Amino acid sequence: MRTEQFFKLKEDLGQPLFQLYPDATIIDDDLAEVVDNLFVTLSQHEAENSEYPRMDALLWAVSRGAAMRSFNLKISEDDGQLGIPPDCVLPANSKRYSEIIGNLKLSGTYYSETASYRIMKDGAFVHKTIQTRGVIYYFRSQTVSNNEVPYAILQSNV
């Protein structure tokens, strides 16, 4: 993924997916892959009587399965693939869990750390997250691992 692709997609949030990206692939009701490792979350705006789903948020994920795990809690879809997120989706000089936390503390940015479990189905651990205004960083490890890199990062224009 190129940095300019990421920023162009981010500018296009709120727009109809297929009018701007006709080659995008819907992989779940509310998730589409636009280019390798770059996905958008979708919503249908019935009030606008539009046949096109609109792009709500931008999701970088190391793989399609990782995108399904992070956004739709589908653990079994995750292939466990590892990768380093591109710099354009990370805070400055922050690739690892501890670096992201340190950067957020240093900048005075409010953040929360949470863990998600599939309570209604089987109680399985899904992921832990670091969440700030408009950004969520997803991590697979159930325990805090300072060197872990995010497997997915969700950004919105909030």
Q: Which domain holds residue 74?
A: 3-155
Quote the pLDDT of residue 74: 92
Quote the pLDDT of residue 5: 86
State if pTM tops 0.85.
yes
Number of domains in the chain: 1
Per-residue pLDDT at 145 exceeds 50:
yes
Query: Would you place residue 112 in the very low, low, confident or very high pLDDT band (cuts 50, 70, 90)?
Result: very high
Q: Is the dihedral of CA 22, 33, 157, 10 positive or negative?
A: negative
Query: Rounded CA gap, 25 and 33, in Å?
Result: 5
Q: Given phi > 0 = left and psi -120 to 50 = alpha, else beta, which region is 151? A: alpha
What size, in residues, is the chain? Answer: 158
**In whole angstroms, how far apart are CA 109 and each of 51, 133, 141, 154?**
38, 9, 24, 17
Quote the pLDDT of residue 29: 83
The number of beta carbons lying within 10 Å of the beta carbon of residue 81 is 13
The number of beta carbons lying within 10 Å of the beta carbon of residue 150 is 29
